[in-house]
Structure 1
Amino acid sequence: MKPLPLLNLVSRLEDSAWLDPWVTRVKGTVNSVVPFPWLRDVLHGVPLGHPVHPLAVQIPLGAWTSAAVLDAVPGNERAAGILIGVGAIAAVPSAVAGFTDWSELHEQQQRVGLVHAAANIAATGLYIASLVERSRGRQSRGKLLGYLGFATVGAGGFLGGHLTYRQAAGVNHSEDVPHRFPVGWHTLAPLNELAEGELEKRTVAGMPLLVFREGQVVHVLSDVCSHLSGPLHEGKLDERGEACVICPWHGSVFELRTGEVRGGPATAGQPRFSTRIEEGVVEVSLPGAG
């Protein structure tokens, strides 16, 4: 089966450079509205281990879908209005979380994401207008605006699906590491070749690894940032109680000893490799590999 022609139109958004000035303006606004790192981490979903936005959108989408059903059945105008209001209120925190994630994406993702956000804002505006018309007793106009809002939020949802499943925004970019790394112990490097206290990149079985040596202890993580595949060995060291690495692309922070996230936008930790030293040679193994 061939893809819908609509898909080609959406794909063109990825290369629509004319959107970039708007991206810059909106990104600046988002950064000024959400300036605190701890708040950005909460909105990214660091405590949850995955983005907040996909979870938060369930409330307005569910409320608006239910309102659309009730509007098709006579005598449910009041209930439909209540649901539309609930959806409009819930759309605000969902949008804040979404814009926070969006501000840390690649430029092609941001272009699609900006149109996705515009569609959802337009849909929310239509629903608010629907509520105004309903409050004035114009139920037919209110229903029409509600269905227009439902169609618009559906278009925004299609763009959101493209952003997530075609452009891989918000997904764990190191999830496949255990599936591609071979089982067992593998040679990394002689211990005396590894620099003390520095970030290094080594490749084992075709897999790029981040290596950090502390005396006789060697810490090894996947070198591919779980946020958007940034090369961690090009990042910087940071002390947050424990030695951490800061991703050079979007500033995600990971603890070198455990791979756990210490700061977003990443929400998934880095795969951590076990290490041992045999006759002066460092070997690595990945738990759950294969």
Structure 2
Amino acid sequence: MKRLPGLKVMDRLENFSALDPLVNTARSLVERALGPRWLRDVLHGVPLGHPVHPLAVQVPLGAWVSGGVLDLVPGTERPARILVGTGLLGALPSAAAGYADWSKLHEQQLRVGIVHSASNVLATGLYAASLVQRCRGRHGSGKALSYTGLLLAGAGGYLGGHLAYRQAAGANHTEDIPHRFPTGWQHLAPLDELDEGTLGQRVVSGVPLLVHRRGEQVDVLADTCSHLSAPLHEGRLLDGSGDGPGDACVECPWHQSVFALGTGEVVHGPATAGQPRFETRIVGEAVEVRLPHAG
């Protein structure tokens, strides 16, 4: 089956570098506006284990689609107006979460994302104007503005789908590792070949692993960052979360996600999925690793 012609436009949009000055300016503004790191973690969805934005957008889209249905039914002006207002209220947290995620993406994703954002901002503005007209009793123009806004929101949704599924923004980039790593214990390296107190990389069965040795304690995580596939061994070794003492952590070199080396859990976003953690043991002079539930 042939691809829709619009997909060629999407391919060009991903590499449309003329958008970069706008992207850089907007990204700088977003990063200054997001506030403390705990708030960023909430907006990214660290407590939920996956991004907040896809869940949050259900409120404005659901309200506006429902309002559009009611606009076709005589005598439903008041509930339709309530739904338009509900969608506007829901758009605020949805946009905050979306901008938090967008500010930590790759170049091609940023370009698609800025157009996705512009489409949704225009849609929200039209719905705000629609609400004003409805409150003035001008229901005809209010409905026209709403339906135009719904078309733009639909276009924004298509771009969001492209970001999520074609460009894998927000996806867990380590999901495949348990399906590729062999079962059972595997040789990692002789213990004396692992540097003490530094981040290193070893490859076992084609899977790159992050290795950190503290005496005879060896912590091993997947080296591919779950956020956007950065090589974690090129990142920074932190004490705890970087804010105080505690277990050692690794900070991603690309977007500064922080993971606990001892557990693989996310300490700070933008990552929301933890790193696969490998069990280790020392047999003779060699370190062996095993990934629970591999295969």
- Give the TM bin, normalised by the shorter chain: over 0.9
Matched residue count = 290
> Counterpart of 1:270?
275
Structure 1: runs of 5+ lacking an equivalent: none
> Higher mean Cα deviation, 126-135 or 261-270?
126-135
- State whether structure 2 residue 116 is matched by structure 1 residue 116: yes
- State whether structure 2 residue 253 is matched by structure 1 residue 248: yes
- 3-state SS of the aligned residue for 1:38? helix
- 3-state SS of the aligned residue for 1:9? helix
**Cα offset for 1:279?**
1.1
Distance across 1 between alignment mates of 2:148 and 2:24: 29
User: Could you tell me the percent identity over the aligned residues?
Assistant: 64
- 3-state SS of the aligned residue for 2:18? helix
Structure 2: runs of 5+ lacking an equivalent: 241-245
For each residue in 1:53-104, what CA deviation from the matched residue of structure 2 results, as whole angstroms up to 9, or x when unmatched?
A: 1111111011001001101111111111110011011101110110011000
The one-letter code sitting in structure 1 at the alignment partner of 2:133 is E
**Cα offset for 1:136?**
2.1
Distance across 1 between alignment mates of 2:293 and 2:119: 42
> Counterpart of 2:234?
234
Distance across 1 between alignment mates of 2:137 and 2:42: 41
> Counterpart of 1:84?
84
- 3-state SS of the aligned residue for 1:160? helix
Distance across 2 between alignment mates of 1:263 and 1:108: 24
Distance across 2 between alignment mates of 1:284 and 1:7: 43
The one-letter code sitting in structure 2 at the alignment partner of 1:267 is T
- State whether structure 2 residue 63 is matched by structure 1 residue 63: yes
- Map 1:26-175 to 2 at 5 A: 26-175=26-175
> Counterpart of 2:221?
221
**Cα offset for 1:138?**
1.6
Distance across 2 between alignment mates of 1:122 and 1:275: 53
Distance across 1 between alignment mates of 2:32 and 2:194: 42
- 3-state SS of the aligned residue for 2:212? strand
- 3-state SS of the aligned residue for 2:188? strand
- 3-state SS of the aligned residue for 2:271? coil
Distance across 2 between alignment mates of 1:184 and 1:2: 44
Q: TM-score of the superposition, structure 2-length normalised?
A: 0.97
> Counterpart of 1:199?
199
Distance across 2 between alignment mates of 1:202 and 1:287: 18
Distance across 2 between alignment mates of 1:135 and 1:37: 39
> Counterpart of 2:293?
288
Distance across 2 between alignment mates of 1:112 and 1:121: 14
For each residue in 1:137-180, what CA deviation from the matched residue of structure 2 results, as whole angstroms up to 9, or x when unmatched?
A: 22111111111111110000000000000000011111111011
Distance across 2 between alignment mates of 1:35 and 1:204: 40
The one-letter code sitting in structure 1 at the alignment partner of 2:75 is G
- 3-state SS of the aligned residue for 1:173? coil
> Higher mean Cα deviation, 85-94 or 157-166?
85-94
After TM superposition, the runs of 4+ consecutive aligned structure 1 residues lying more than 4 A away are: none
- State whether structure 2 residue 223 is matched by structure 1 residue 189: no
For each residue in 1:188-236, what CA deviation from the matched residue of structure 2 results, as whole angstroms up to 9, or x when unmatched?
A: 0001100111110000000000000111111100000000000000011
Distance across 1 between alignment mates of 2:27 and 2:248: 30
The one-letter code sitting in structure 2 at the alignment partner of 1:97 is A
> Counterpart of 2:243?
none
Distance across 2 between alignment mates of 1:9 and 1:71: 33
The one-letter code sitting in structure 2 at the alignment partner of 1:266 is A
The one-letter code sitting in structure 1 at the alignment partner of 2:196 is E
